[in-house]
Chain A
């Protein structure tokens, strides 16, 4: 592998190991399952039940799938908050001073949320699914799992941009996370189809990889066999990945820019 590619990958790997360790300081398996996961599952149930209020089994399924999948995106976005840990822990200047580029550190820093997001969304979709009339055949399930991975990866790239922006104002990290995730719930086809909102809202939603990944999963849910819909699904997922790649490049550029700006203005400090 070319040298200039190896170094970033290695950095990502170490950063990720750091991130994984951090996570288990916050959670024990028990508190993650009964605390975190149960809250996610109840949230899915809460929204899916609205379909019961509206007396529409179709709506129940629609809301269920949307809310189960959106968790993958939420988890990816937690990185907006955790990226700031580098600044708050005071390691940021040390990283900036190091010879290798900054962006791989941030790419790896928050990946621990991806496997847990995968676990949460999968638990919701596959375990709770039957309760809400959503069943999966094995090929479907595999495809859905793959789609979740795509959503997670591409949303993570988008989250990096927000994380980079938040680095400059760490006290906004919670507001940004909460507003971003709520808006996602609103416009990305989670609760209502994109067509419900005005055109310009739809355009914004299309810039979010989740919108396309979710569409792919909905397609898979409608069709018992994967074959006939494979093309449509793959297209949607490719679009999601492509958009994710654009976000990733934006994030790398932004991070290096910010590091440069910070060096000049002296705003990179040892403790936020």
Chain B
């Protein structure tokens, strides 16, 4: 617990001084305007919730990919990875705390999206089912952090995977049904989509913004949480592998 808190506090302090990492939060409201312009131009004000959610989820994932995903690599380059390994507190806890801080901060993207919609288009997207929305948001953040922990470990274990870091964004936005729901995509994509927590999150969040009651809320939240937990598990296993490798060979990654 100490490790989590320490990592969290540390990361919050660091992020305050590193504007660069949160640059996605500068372009996020612009993306909201882009999505809204498409839906408004087509006269589909009913799709405003879609247009407001998509950029928020995109921001969440992008920040995870480029900030959370680089946490361990950052420690390595800073020369503080080995000293961290040498401390009695579990390194997995610290890294997780840091990832949680980044993830929570990236939720600001949601607020920005709503604000941009109101400021430029005068559209206020009502949160029809606030409890469902809040619960879905929390579950989504948890799942994002879990996925980020996988990213963080993988990127430090394998330089060649890291070369593809840039291309791990839009494919997941398509698979995740971030703007266009999975139901509208070709059938063969569905199995792939359902493994990506974004697809469940996007659906539940969208449902909580529409008048109809949200179906199977608990079950769907359960899936999101389960996917997130799997992410954490895999991430921590990979982190242990990375540290083991560091101790055995003196370097942490494969080429």
Q: Which residues of A contact B (CB under 8 A)?
A: 31, 34-36, 38-39, 42-43, 45-46, 49-50, 52-54, 56, 59, 63, 171, 174-175, 178-179, 182-183, 185-186, 191-193, 196-197
Is B173 in contact with chain A by the CB < 8 A criterion? yes
Sample of 21 A–B contacts (CB below 8 Å): A34-B164, A35-B166, A36-B167, A38-B167, A46-B170, A46-B173, A46-B174, A46-B180, A52-B184, A53-B47, A53-B179, A54-B47, A175-B23, A178-B27, A179-B26, A179-B27, A182-B34, A186-B34, A186-B37, A191-B37, A196-B37
Per-position binary interface string of chain B over residues 230-247, scored 1 when its CB falls under 8 Å from any chain A CB and 0 otherwise? 000000000000000000
Contacting pair B179 A49 (CB below 8 A): yes
Please provide the chain B residues from 11 to 26 with a CB less than 8 Å away from any CB of chain A in the complex. 20, 23, 26
Contacting pair A39 B47 (CB below 8 A): no
Nearest A residue (CB) for B165: A35
How many residues on chain B are close to A (CB under 8 Å)?
33
Contacting pair A52 B180 (CB below 8 A): yes
Contacts of B33 in A (CB 8 A): 186
Q: Looking at the assembled complex, report how far the CB atom of B164 sits from the nearest CB atom of chain A, in whole angstroms.
A: 4
Known interface pairs A53-B180, A182-B31; 8 further A-B residue pairs with C-beta atoms within 8 A, sorted by A's residue number: A35-B164, A45-B174, A49-B174, A50-B35, A53-B179, A59-B38, A185-B34, A192-B37
Q: Interface SS of chain B: helix, strand, loop or mixed?
A: helix
State which of B23, B41, B181, B185 has its C-beta within 8 Å of the C-beta of A174: B23
Is B30 in contact with chain A by the CB < 8 A criterion? yes
Contacts of A171 in B (CB 8 A): 20
Residue from the set B33, B44, B170 with the largest chain A CB neighbour count within 10 Å: B170
Please provide the chain B residues from 174 to 202 with a CB less than 8 Å away from any CB of chain A in the complex. 174, 179-181, 184-185
Q: Looking at the assembled complex, report how far the CB atom of B45 sits from the nearest CB atom of chain A, in whole angstroms.
A: 12
Contacting pair B170 A182 (CB below 8 A): no
Nearest A residue (CB) for B185: A49
Is B169 in contact with chain A by the CB < 8 A criterion? yes
Q: In the assembly, what is the distance between CA of A175 and CA of B47, in Å?
A: 30
